Structure 1
Amino acid sequence: MSRHRANPNASDDPDARHRGNAETRHQVLRAFGYVVVAMSVVVGLFSVYSYRHFNENLTILDVTSQLGDDRPDKVEVEGPREPINVLVMGSDSRDGKGNNIDGLRGGGQRSDTTLLIHLSADRENAYGVSLPRDAMVQRPTCFTKDKKEIPGGFDMWNAAFSVGGPACTIRQFEQLTHVKIDHFVVVDFNGFKDMVDAIDGVKVCIPEDVDDPVGNIHLKAGTREVKGQEALNYVRIRHNISNNGDIGRMKRQQAFVAAMTNKVSSAGTLSRPDRLFGFVNAATSSLTLDPGLSSVKKIADLAGQFQDTGLDKIKFVTIPFAAYEPDPNRLVWSGDADNLWRKVRNDMPLSKRLSTEAITAAGKSKDPKKSAAQAAGTVTKTDEETAAANGLCA
């Protein structure tokens, strides 16, 4: 495994870029989706100096030698282009600065959520599949950079990153789904606040006052712009906003990222080079990527392909799951997950059900109609919890 900065004069410390925070991974992961959209615009606006500056921000990590000889093959598709699969992971250290926001510390480096982004060969659609950290899976044998074996085991999804970094997470994903990864991105949460501040905040709807003494998070209900630490607090709330646990938080974060995507793509941002520069500067400083994405130019080339798809065709869903009977705090992928991975392998669109439930990068579900309860004005407690989980007001 080789790891280096895009800047040849920068440090080659293999641990330097994997410091951040735990629970914020869910939302930062999706940051790559809208970073990719913004990058294509930025590349056309800034000077050669800016390109070099952004390139020097990037950290490049080659894990090819750690992925084994039994990687899945990609299914051949008709046409001049192939589908693209990008695995996005969060990087954190629970002992890092500010990591006690969720009441959890210690345990070393982790990736608390993983996102698979699939871009179709015809570039007509794209979707991101969120993988809950609490899902119990069979982790395969992994390998260190020195080719030493890391024993596999039945464990939580995010344990792979803890024991073997991004290489083990990629290997785990490929062995479980038989979907080959083309590129990977690791996002350090420390840049999240800077990204939000660079675009002068993101509008969210908080359905009820939040008073979370565990994380020391206190937010007033209502629709408003959140910035910096407040935005980070909002997307990381573990208590007192819904009873849906980690899944509810993931959905809320998906809605936040959709709102952020809109903000990045808005005229108010695109017409402000200072905001774009600040956003991309913060984003590139937070990214560790494979050699195939080793420069702003390469990232922008990928960005252009996502931009061609259109925000309304980029959807975010969560892997179908079921309860894990031995432990109510854990879950497992359901049988429908196999159907979803089959669609990814064969470059097929999402099922009608998943597509309808998805949050799009344009900021709304495919089916924007009100529920019967909303139309009748009889919003239930369950409706309110769902709204809270998604960062919307019932």
Structure 2
Amino acid sequence: MSHVSEPAEPTARRTHRRAVWTTILAAQLVIALITAGGSWLVYDNLNDNIPEGQRIRHKVPEVLPDGVASDAPTKPLNILVMGSDTRVGAGNDDIGGANPEGTARSDTVILLHVSRDRSHAYGVSLPRDAIIDRPDCVTDDRGEVPGATGVRFNTAFEVGGPVCTVQTVEALTDIHINHFVVLDFRGFRDMVDAIGGVEVCLPKAVDDDKHNIHFDAGTQVLEGTQALDYVRERYQLSVTGDIGRMKRQQAFIASMIQKVRSAGTLSQPQRILSFLSAVTSSIQTDDELDSVGRLKDLAMEVRRTGLDKIKFLTVPVEPDPNNPEVTLVWSATAQDLWERIRQDEQLGKDFSEGSIGADDQFGDEPSQSPSPDPTSDPTSDPTSDPTSEPRTSPEEAEQRAEAGLCG
């Protein structure tokens, strides 16, 4: 993993600080779509919460993978999930660090790929500050937006909104995006609170007086405002800057999936209602997803995906040759990842190593090992075999520590 120095300019540092507030927001929609399932059926009264969707003008046509017929009952899905740092609206306007220009940005974009047979899914985080060549965009609400070369990825949202971000991703990856969703601050906080908080594990305590962020070391449950502090902390937990922090945020998403799908959440109708209310009152979508019924249909399609089949990873990156101490670019290896998505293939060893799965146990502290069961057969447990490979490689353990994660 590349180590990227922090920007030296004070303005850049402030921009990064504001950005972290939103790095986790949009990914919660992934959880809602996959886990809500049949619960949508009884909450049609939430329909008025969702604003009218925007039309996507695609740069890449839908091309099915090799061997998939055009009349196949199900097709692969690619959903672009974004977080908006807007301060507009109740629940958002009391959050500090607003963009001085008053414009909204998407500081996180996750490309969620769901396989045609719905047996697996993976979300690819796209770093906000990666340097790219942004294409010309055309949107219904902003008209024609000229492109630019050598700009940060998140400028697409700032100048052209979610539709321009979709067109940018399509142009860069040659992947057809079926849908998009955007979530704001209020949605994140309310979703975390609705399910009673999310469990995380910190390898060390955090005492960041400058930003008033304080956490104890070890396993703990964070509620909405605490969770915002956790995902925006960048000075004491993540020594690799945004890349390490993104790995920690992916772990947070995975832990939230576990919580949403737990019996403690699914057995409490009020929690489900609060969760879905938080989702529907805080999102923007494309015009094919702008109703509870359409979101429910999508949720019903993908809910069969098992927890152990959902993975999160970051697009391969490397230091920007023109500014290696500050910014990143996508590496050439990213083209292999885009081809796997286009062909609806699984990640494979190259990309799955270092990924975070929704079935990982993030509350287990590295110093706490379960006591052996004297009645069990040690030969039946691969972890008791000294010749077996460890679940976490030394390299991955180092990456997790650098990201501020327990073992």
TM-score, reference length from structure 1? 0.83
Could you say which residue in structure 1 is the equivalent of 2:82?
A: 89
Residue by residue over 1:97-142, the C-alpha shift from the partner in whole angstroms, topping out at 9 and shown as x without a partner, is 35446xx742421000101111111212111111000110000011
Could you say which residue in structure 2 is the equivalent of 1:106?
A: 100
Structure 2 CA distance for aligned equivalents of residues 139 and 351 of structure 1: 29
Runs of 4+ that moved beyond 6 A: none
Could you say which residue in structure 2 is the equivalent of 1:265?
A: 261
How far 1:383 moved relative to its partner?
4.7
How far 1:332 moved relative to its partner?
0.4
Equivalent pair of 1:140/1:152 in contact (CA under 8 Å): yes
How far 1:386 moved relative to its partner?
2.6
Q: Counterpart of 1:61 in structure 2: which amino acid?
A: G
**2:64 is equivalent to residue 75 of structure 1:** yes
Q: Counterpart of 1:300 in structure 2: which amino acid?
A: K
Could you say which residue in structure 2 is the equivalent of 1:346?
A: 343
Aligned positions of 1:140-289 closer than 5 A? 140-145=135-140, 148-154=143-149, 155-289=151-285
Structure 2 CA distance for aligned equivalents of residues 105 and 206 of structure 1: 30
Could you say which residue in structure 1 is the equivalent of 2:50?
A: 58
Could you say which residue in structure 2 is the equivalent of 1:387?
A: 401
Q: Report the count of equivalent residues.
A: 355
Aligned positions of 1:336-375 closer than 5 A? 336-363=333-360, 369-371=390-392
- Relative to structure 1, the CA distance from residue 291 to residue 220 in structure 2 (aligned partners, 3 Å threshold; closer, same or farther) is same
Q: Which has the higher helix share?
A: 1
Q: Counterpart of 1:196 in structure 2: which amino acid?
A: V
Residue by residue over 1:4-48, the C-alpha shift from the partner in whole angstroms, topping out at 9 and shown as x without a partner, is xxxxxxxxxxxxxxxxx742332122101111133214225x3xx
How far 1:356 moved relative to its partner?
3.0
Structure 1 CA distance for aligned equivalents of residues 296 and 341 of structure 2: 23
Residue by residue over 1:282-312, the C-alpha shift from the partner in whole angstroms, topping out at 9 and shown as x without a partner, is 1111111112112222212211222212111
How far 1:323 moved relative to its partner?
0.7
Equivalent pair of 1:321/1:333 in contact (CA under 8 Å): yes
How far 1:194 moved relative to its partner?
1.0
Residue by residue over 1:330-387, the C-alpha shift from the partner in whole angstroms, topping out at 9 and shown as x without a partner, is 100001100100111111111212123221222359x9944465xxxxxx9x956632
Q: Secondary structure of the equivalent of 2:25? A: helix
Q: Counterpart of 2:50 in structure 1: which amino acid?
A: L
Q: Secondary structure of the equivalent of 2:112? A: strand
1:292 to 288, 292, 297: 288
Residue by residue over 1:149-188, the C-alpha shift from the partner in whole angstroms, topping out at 9 and shown as x without a partner, is 3221120000000001011101111111110111110111
- RMSD over aligned CA atoms reads 2.4
What are structure 1's unaligned runs of at least 5 residues? 1-20, 374-379
2:312 to 305, 313, 316: 316
Equivalent pair of 2:55/2:287 in contact (CA under 8 Å): no
Q: Secondary structure of the equivalent of 1:171? A: helix
Equivalent pair of 1:134/1:329 in contact (CA under 8 Å): no
Could you say which residue in structure 1 is the equivalent of 2:34?
A: 37
Equivalent pair of 1:100/1:215 in contact (CA under 8 Å): no
- Relative to structure 1, the CA distance from residue 133 to residue 147 in structure 2 (aligned partners, 3 Å threshold; closer, same or farther) is closer
Q: Counterpart of 1:218 in structure 2: which amino acid?
A: H
